[in-house]
């Protein structure tokens, strides 16, 4: 666990607990994912909790998607920046490893945004082990809806996505992997 | 009833922390060294997709190593962070099993090494999610999801190459013969492994081995490959005795930090 406490200049304006929590959520909802800017980190389900600790610090629980995801540090500093400018008072960003982030936590709004951005949202419910090791279902094309598609690469521009190609409309597309 | 002097208690705590530190290094170094090895493929893989695949595997492994080495530094309690541990240790202080440092060889050899280690990490970390050490349990639960995709990738390629052309079959079979002896070290239980299993920090290596064998046999059968015979081994990477390959890996990996101490991105 890493925690950093910041005291932004606006901390001098006291706000009650509920107000601080809702200000924080509003600020966090405006933080885009650096690699999929169509989605906010709240859409991705990366914010696990926003809670007022007994010492008055607002604790924000943040989960990484993948342990080696290069965006993790950018996200963390964007979160700190957004909270610092939102007048939420003293806050701490806490790294939450457990329970491990799952693609099931992407919100309904997040799934809708992914789809309209051209990325197929992950299948629900991170899969039994066997299902990941022996995939049998084809991913549907986000453009023409055909299921006559093939996986071109298990890994795409980020670890969380795979590259696919539609054999019907011949367009390439990305699939957000179920994890 | 026995009384323990405060000094003896301190010593006991130190010995426990030291053991956990060394055990976490074994896990972290395996990921770090393999990740560094896979990174050598960037720009050289047979196709762009495989360049991406191997680079992403490397990225995950280095991410896992970061979590583990950070934890190792905290357990050690001497103020060393992940970078100091990764970049400023000497050859003999690395505790990875030496399978991880074996050269990439051709693409087939890289894939064989990957399947062997992916299946090991999968079986190990699946069980470690129930560790009595909450931090290791959390890292294991996170890692296991990533490793599943690693094995899906490596297994997929091993089947294509093994059950492919005469040439591809011969190459992966010979890579398997060359790398198989190093797998023995993964499961060779020493005092440290036993201590961690007794404390419930880590699973029994014999359990991990049995599950690993089952999984590997299934993959080899699908890939139409023959499992090589077991031979006695004398590798002790887990105790810091490495092949010469590790020196070259460290020279490249540590060059920047040793030339510009404290450099940061």
**pLDDT at res. A167:** 95
Same domain, A91 and A20: yes
Asked if residue A14 and residue A84 are part of one domain, the reply reads yes
> Are A120 and A175 contacting, i.e. CB atoms less than 8 angstroms apart?
yes
Same domain, residue pair A60 and A39: yes
Looking at the domain assignment, is residue A100 inside a domain? no
| B chain contacts of residue A159, beta-carbon cutoff 8 Å | 56, 59-60, 146
Query: Which domains are assigned to chain B?
Result: 9-259 (1.20.1260.10)
Q: What was the pLDDT predicted at A15?
A: 58
Same domain, residue pair A113 and A170: yes
Task: Looking at the structure, tell me whether residues A116 and A159 fall in a common domain.
Answer: yes
Encode B206-242 in three state secondary structure.
Answer: HHHHHHHHHHHHHHHHHCCCCCCCCCCCCCEHHHCEC
Query: What's chain B's Rg over C-alpha atoms?
Result: 19
Per-residue pLDDT tens digits for A117-158: 989 998 876 666 677 777 767 889 999 999 999 998 888 878
pLDDT at B13: 59
Q: For A47-78, give the secondary structure using H, E and C.
A: EEEEEECCCCCEEEEECCCCCCCCHHHHHHHH
Instruction: Inspect the interface and report whether the beta carbons of A152 and B49 lie closer than 8 Å.
Output: yes
Range of the domain at A144: 107-176
State the pLDDT at residue B186: 97
Cross-chain residue pair A159–B146, CB shorter than 8 Å: yes
**CA B16 from centroid of its chain's CA atoms:** 22
What is the SS3 assignment for B63?
helix
- CATH label of the domain that carries residue A34: 3.30.300.130
**Co-location of A65 and A112 in the same domain:** no
Of the candidates A67, A135, A156, the beta carbon closest to that of B52 is on A156
Nearest by CB: B148 against A69, A98, A129: A129
Interface of A with B (CB under 8 A): 64, 66-70, 97-102, 126, 129, 132-133, 135, 152-157, 159, 163, 177, 179
CA distance B45 to B50: 6
Per-block average pLDDT, block size 10, for chain B (265 residues)? 52 82 98 98 93 94 97 95 95 98 98 98 98 97 94 96 98 98 96 97 98 98 96 90 96 94 82
Answer whether residue A102 is part of any domain. no
pLDDT of residue B205: 98
A101 part of a folded domain:
no
Q: Are residues A16 and A73 in the same domain?
A: yes
ipTM for this prediction: 0.83
Local structure of residue A140 (DSSP, 8 states): P
> Residue A21: what pLDDT?
95
At residue B169, the pLDDT reads: 98
Tell me, yes or no, whether A70 and A119 share the same domain.
no
Nearest-angstrom CA–CA distance, A102 and B141: 11
pLDDT per residue over A24-67, tens digit each?
Answer: 999 999 999 998 889 999 999 999 999 999 999 999 999 998 88
pLDDT at B10: 56
Strand order in the sheet with A58-62: A5-6, A91-95, A58-62, A47-52
Domain count along chain A: 2
The pLDDT of residue A3? 47
Q: Which of A4, A45, A12 is nearest to A28 (CA)?
A: A45
Closest approach of A162 to chain B, Cα-based (Å): 10
How far apart CA A118 and CA B95 sit, in angstroms, is 44
A72-94 residue pLDDT tens: 889 999 999 999 999 999 999 99
Residues 6+ apart with CB under 8 A from B166: none
- Looking at the DSSP bridge assignments, the partners of residue A120 are A175
State how far the Cα of B46 lies from the Cα of B49, in Å rounded to an integer: 8
A74 and A151 housed in the same domain: no
Cβ–Cβ gap A70/B59 under 8 Å:
yes
The alpha-carbon gap from A21 to the nearest alpha carbon of chain B, in Å, equals 27
Q: Which of B66, B145, B151 sits opposite A133 (nearest CB)?
A: B151
pLDDT given at position A13: 46
What is residue A16's predicted lDDT score, i.e. its pLDDT? Answer: 87
Beta strands in A25-176 (DSSP E): 47-52, 58-62, 91-95, 119-120, 149-153, 161-166, 172-176
At residue A124, the pLDDT reads: 72
A9 shares a domain with A67: yes
Task: State whether A115 and A62 are in the same domain.
Answer: no
């Amino acid at each position: 666990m890493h925690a950093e406490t910041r005291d932004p200049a606006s901390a001098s304006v006291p706000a009650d607990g509920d107000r601080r929590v809702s200000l924080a959520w509003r600020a966090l909802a405006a933080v885009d994912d650096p690699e999929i800017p169509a989605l906010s980190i709240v859409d991705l389900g990366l914010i696990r909790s926003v809670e007022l600790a007994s010492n008055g610090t607002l604790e924000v629980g943040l989960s990484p998607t993948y342990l080696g995801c290069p965006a993790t540090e950018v996200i963390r500093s964007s979160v700190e920046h957004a909270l610092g400018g939102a007048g939420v008072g003293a806050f701490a960003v806490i790294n939450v490893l457990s329970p491990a982030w799952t693609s099931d936590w992407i919100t309904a709004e997040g799934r809708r945004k992914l789809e309209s951005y051209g990325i197929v949202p992950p299948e629900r419910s991170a899969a039994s082990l066997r299902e990941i090791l022996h995939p049998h279902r084809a991913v549907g094309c986000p453009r023409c809806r055909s299921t006559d598609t093939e996986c071109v690469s298990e890994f795409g521009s980020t670890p969380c996505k795979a590259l696919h190609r539609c054999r019907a409309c011949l367009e390439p597309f990305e699939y957000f992997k179920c994890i | 009833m026995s009384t323990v002097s405060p000094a003896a208690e301190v010593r006991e705590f130190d010995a426990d922390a030291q053991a956990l530190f060394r055990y976490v290094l074994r896990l972290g170094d395996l990921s770090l060294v393999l990740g560094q090895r896979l990174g050598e493929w960037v720009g050289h893989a047979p196709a762009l997709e495989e360049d991406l695949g191997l680079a992403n595997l490397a990225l995950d492994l280095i991410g896992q190593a970061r979590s583990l080495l950070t934890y190792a530094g905290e357990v050690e309690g001497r103020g060393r962070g992940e970078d100091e541990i990764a970049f400023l240790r000497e050859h003999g202080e690395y505790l990875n099993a030496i399978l991880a440092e074996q050269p990439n060889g051709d693409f087939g050899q890289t894939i064989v090494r990957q399947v062997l280690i992916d299946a090991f990490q999968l079986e190990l970390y699946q069980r470690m999610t129930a560790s009595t050490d909450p931090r290791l349990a959390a890292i294991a639960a996170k890692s296991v999801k990533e490793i599943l995709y690693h094995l899906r990738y490596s297994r997929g390629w091993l089947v294509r190459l093994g059950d492919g052309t005469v040439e591809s079959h011969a190459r992966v079979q010979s890579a398997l013969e060359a790398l198989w002896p190093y797998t023995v070290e993964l499961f060779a239980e020493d005092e440290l492994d036993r201590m961690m299993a007794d404390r419930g920090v880590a699973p029994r290596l014999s359990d991990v081995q049995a599950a690993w064998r089952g999984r590997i046999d299934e993959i080899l059968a699908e890939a139409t490959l023959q499992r090589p015979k077991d031979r006695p081994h004398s590798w002790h990477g887990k105790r810091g005795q490495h092949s010469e390959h590790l020196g070259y890996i460290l020279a490249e990996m540590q060059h920047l930090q040793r030339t510009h101490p404290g450099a940061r991105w």
